[in-house]
Amino acid sequence: MNWEAAAAIAEITAALGVVVSLIYLANQARREARETAVANKLASTKLLTDFIDALIANPELMDLWMRARIGAETLSEVERYRFSNMCMKAFWFFSASHFQLRMKTLTDEDWAEVHAVLRFWLDGPGVRAWWKNGARMRFAGAFVAFIDGEIEKIAATDSAAA
């Protein structure tokens, strides 16, 4: 065997090594992306379930949330602040999910679940009043526009039903 043949075999072997390495790296990247997606889903689910667990574990808090969701007119000042903080915590979660959707790191299916919970919150007149009475100034523009649009859809549905 001459040196040219040996060099050709070495080049082919090196090329195969590069191809195998690229395939391995692509598989690793896909696996890590799946693991990250699973971790993100579990983390966001935990945030929401922790909040719901707090409502379940504390009947007084659940009562406050149910009354305030309808309207804050009958609440004491302390209750209004508690409800406002509850809403802030929930809407930070919704805002983070909306950001993930815009960055394409949240699937449409996962967003559908978050959106359904968000719509449940917004169906409460007390929540909409909280949003309109200053809370919207605490969030970024894209999320504010989205929530304002959701509230407009609810108002249109309410008007059509009346």
Question: Mean pLDDT, to the nearest integer, of 32-52?
Answer: 79
Percent of the chain with pLDDT over 70: 99
Residue predicted with more confidence, 127 or 2: 127
Q: Are 77 and 85 in contact (CB under 8 A)?
A: no
In eight-state DSSP terms, residue 136 is: G
pLDDT at position 1 = 64
Residue predicted with more confidence, 6 or 74: 74
CA 117 to chain CA centroid, Å, is 11
Question: Mean pLDDT, to the nearest integer, of 99-125?
Answer: 92
Indicate the pTM of the whole model.
0.76
Say how far apart CA 99 and CA 93 lie, in whole Å: 10
| pLDDT band at residue 4 under the 50/70/90 scheme | confident
pLDDT at position 27 = 83
DSSP string computed for 43-88: HHHHHHHHHHHHHHH-HHHHHHHHHHHH-STT--HHHHHHHHHHHH
Compute the residue count for the chain: 162
Query: Looking at this protein, which amino acid is placed at residue 56?
Result: I
Query: 11-25, 34-48, 52-66, 132-146 — which is least confidently predicted?
Result: 34-48
Chain position carrying tokens 């523009």 = 141
pLDDT tens digit sequence for 63-78 = 999 999 999 888 999 9
Note every long-range contact of 63-69, with CB atoms under 8 Å and residues 24 or more positions apart, other chains counting. Answer: 67/126, 68/124, 68/126, 69/121, 69/124, 69/125, 69/126, 69/127
Backbone angles phi and psi of 124, in degrees to 5: -85, 120
- Rg, C-alpha atoms of the chain: 26
Chain position carrying tokens 């598989």 = 27
Mean pLDDT over each residue of the chain, to the nearest integer: 88
Question: Mean pLDDT, to the nearest integer, of 84-90?
Answer: 93
**SS3 of residue 36 by DSSP:** helix
**Is the per-residue pLDDT at 82 higher than 70?**
yes
Question: Mean pLDDT, to the nearest integer, of 87-113?
Answer: 92
